[in-house]
Structure 1
């Protein structure tokens, strides 16, 4: 058994964005003695196989779309070669490595001890850390507070023969060669984002979804418009689908056996990507040693303060049951947790409010959403108390296009409640939606009404002005 060789005020298990944010705040602001444990690379999913590499890939895809649009603005040129996938992947990997290094430098500068290893709990205050994954090189850490922020990993279906022949979103960032034809299984935001990028960069893209729409937790307007746009731009959507078997047919190609609304069929792909959900990264933690309770989805149960049922163990991010697998949510929750644990009476009630959290899908076109969907608002407040404002339009960007059918329409919706028409939901799809949503998110958090939107002078000509001129 490992000898206890280290003690600290705060032990953070997980070097993702939420864990890093909480550790840095505890150490910098409150001088808590902090140790951080991470088994992989610092930055977690967001930096390594998520937000950052995904967004730069989205930029590449968007630039390719802009190149196609350029002729409408009088530009004439020929592409001398296809997109340099391998060169771009190398640049993206260099960016990720640079960010990993920056995170480690921050930990050194801020007096946070960093242990690169695998953590397992042996009690409610003690954790064994196998340094660099070596079970014979153990360090035991005793901590006053333990934060579990280890994130999750993409799931691979266990009930489909040959499913191991496919990849996940993690594998997407390891592709050294651009697939010619890809099958993406899933209808959530990861599936939608990767499909949009593949298609925009010239890969023949098929999506296999269990129902008839993408993004089923989003407003129906978003679902309908995204389906229209994805089918319009050439993505083949297999609705009401299920996968039966995957078979290796050689030369990197696989045969997918599936059922969809048209019946049973097969097709061949050089990449099959599973985007069917994520699993909390808890298997190596030995939570049974502490009796930390899990929900029916194997996520850690927490209260609004991120507390588990064990008094000195907290959890945040993808491993807990708060329902938002978003990096900024984990960061915000981590900072408030550090405030509450180490900030004294002034921060005794510090916690993240999980209502009206803005979220963006980097699809093609982009999606922004905050607050209640129309069905959710009607259920909560009743039909008679709800007023809906809608608008659809084409951006000025497309006004000089030779073929106006190439225009990507924007669709916006405001969901309002009560006599004062408080805006409780805002849903937008169209170019520029991601940057636009942040400011409107502030307005909703402040309790803005439709009249407040109307009183704001429009900025013309922009897409955003349509949100303050709806009738």
Structure 2
């Protein structure tokens, strides 16, 4: 039997890599992990977690205004971006420490440097140190895509948005997905003039069109501008430091900041995949089987680098399944059916299962129930903003195949509703459940 330095060497200490390493070590494996940036990965350091904190901060803009209708005398309010930014980054530092501590408590050796595959069962660190391992796990995640247009280097991505020295007065956000709409809502609430440009004529293409149409309608009322069927011609810097953006099908636009939110691409460059012949797809994603194994028997990959479902909870489950399969004597894989998701826009969107269009294409006969209402808080506040809940059911048996929501706290409500969809419950099961009144969530058991 060959002797190796480690049973497992993980490249990348994001959500998937940390979970896989920690659980593998708990199963008794000798584990090491390499991370060239900070332990925690995209979600903790420059993604979901700090973004959600900005979302919380942005909500106060409307809450403070609405409070007046509930009897609160709110004086003149000012917003301090630097204070929020630094508090958020401080929390990121704390979480980075906790993730590092978790690995250390499980006796996982951490190398704070880049690693690449240099041979069978072999990785080489940036320092030159060569390490051997029985198994290698690639969990290097993905990074923001930057359009290839003249002047693209003048723009930022979501990575840099958390570190701005000041809020821009005018920002152009490129993209129609969840990152673009989330940051549009954040910056708009902070007082920045926001324009979204999108190559197609639809936002959030993977979500039910009723929700994306409603978000567009509400966003326009909030003052966010949209330019559809637009593509960059180029970005130029003016003498005063502002940016001139030219695009197809629309007039030029002058802004203070351009932010790219045009998707994410797998981090595979410089990993040495070709050294051992690992198969990759058209976008550079590492191809794996249902157990996250590549075409090379001892090399696995989890998380966004595989471009299966780019969600943190999915990467965590993939890491858990890998560890249980490889070192826990419990073969398991992730079920990708009925994965719930959310867009933390203003207001937020949440969804699970098939959209109405998908259900009609796949099932033929479907029934759709919905509720279009104004949340009680919005009524008292005088805010004419309507929520929409939608339930998609299969034909005669009315098995629920999709639930889609836009409105306050939609993601919080959806987590429980997603369990019901995953379990295969029917519309009758929801109808038989007594409502909790008065709540927004009760609309789910009152749909007609």
Assess same fold via TM > 0.5.
Answer: yes
Question: Could you say what secondary structure the match of 1:10 adopts?
Answer: strand
Question: Could you say what secondary structure the match of 1:117 adopts?
Answer: coil
Q: Please give the alpha-carbon distance, in whole angstroms, between the structure 1 residues aligned to 2:104 and 2:284.
A: 34
Deviation of 1:321 after TM superposition, in Å, equals 3.5
Is the 1:15–1:38 Cα contact (8 Å) retained in structure 2?
A: yes
Is the 1:152–1:281 Cα contact (8 Å) retained in structure 2?
A: yes
Q: Please give the alpha-carbon distance, in whole angstroms, between the structure 2 residues aligned to 1:75 and 1:393.
A: 26
Within the candidate set 324, 345, 364, 1:339 is matched to 324
- Mean Cα deviation higher: 71-80 or 199-208: 71-80
**Other-structure match for 1:150:** 140
Residues 11-160 of structure 1 aligned to structure 2 (within 5 Å): 11-28=9-26, 30-80=27-77, 82-130=78-126, 137-158=127-148, 160=149
**Other-structure match for 1:268:** 254
Change (3 A) 1:391 1:124: farther
Residues 297-376 of structure 1 aligned to structure 2 (within 5 Å): 297-322=283-308, 324-344=309-329, 347-348=330-331, 350-376=332-358
Q: Please give the alpha-carbon distance, in whole angstroms, between the structure 1 residues aligned to 2:210 and 2:25.
A: 45
Question: Could you say what secondary structure the match of 2:180 adopts?
Answer: helix
Q: Please give the alpha-carbon distance, in whole angstroms, between the structure 2 residues aligned to 1:410 and 1:295.
A: 40
1:224-267 Cα distance to aligned partner (Å, 9 max, x none): 1111111111001111111111110134311111233xxx4112
How much is the aligned-residue C-alpha RMSD, in angstroms? 1.4
Q: Please give the alpha-carbon distance, in whole angstroms, between the structure 2 residues aligned to 1:450 and 1:45.
A: 38
Q: Which runs of 5+ in 1 are unaligned?
A: 131-136
Is the 1:124–1:313 Cα contact (8 Å) retained in structure 2?
A: no
The TM-score with structure 1 as length reference comes to 0.93
Is the 2:392–2:401 Cα contact (8 Å) retained in structure 1?
A: yes
Deviation of 1:5 after TM superposition, in Å, equals 11
**Other-structure match for 1:256:** 245
Q: Number of residues paired by the alignment?
A: 447
Within the candidate set 387, 390, 396, 2:367 is matched to 387
Is the 2:6–2:31 Cα contact (8 Å) retained in structure 1?
A: yes
**Other-structure match for 1:134:** none
**Other-structure match for 2:380:** 400
Within the candidate set 457, 463, 469, 2:440 is matched to 463
Q: Please give the alpha-carbon distance, in whole angstroms, between the structure 1 residues aligned to 2:157 and 2:87.
A: 21
Q: Please give the alpha-carbon distance, in whole angstroms, between the structure 1 residues aligned to 2:302 and 2:398.
A: 34
Question: Could you say what secondary structure the match of 2:119 adopts?
Answer: coil
Change (3 A) 1:88 1:5: farther
Q: Which runs of 5+ in 2 are unaligned?
A: none
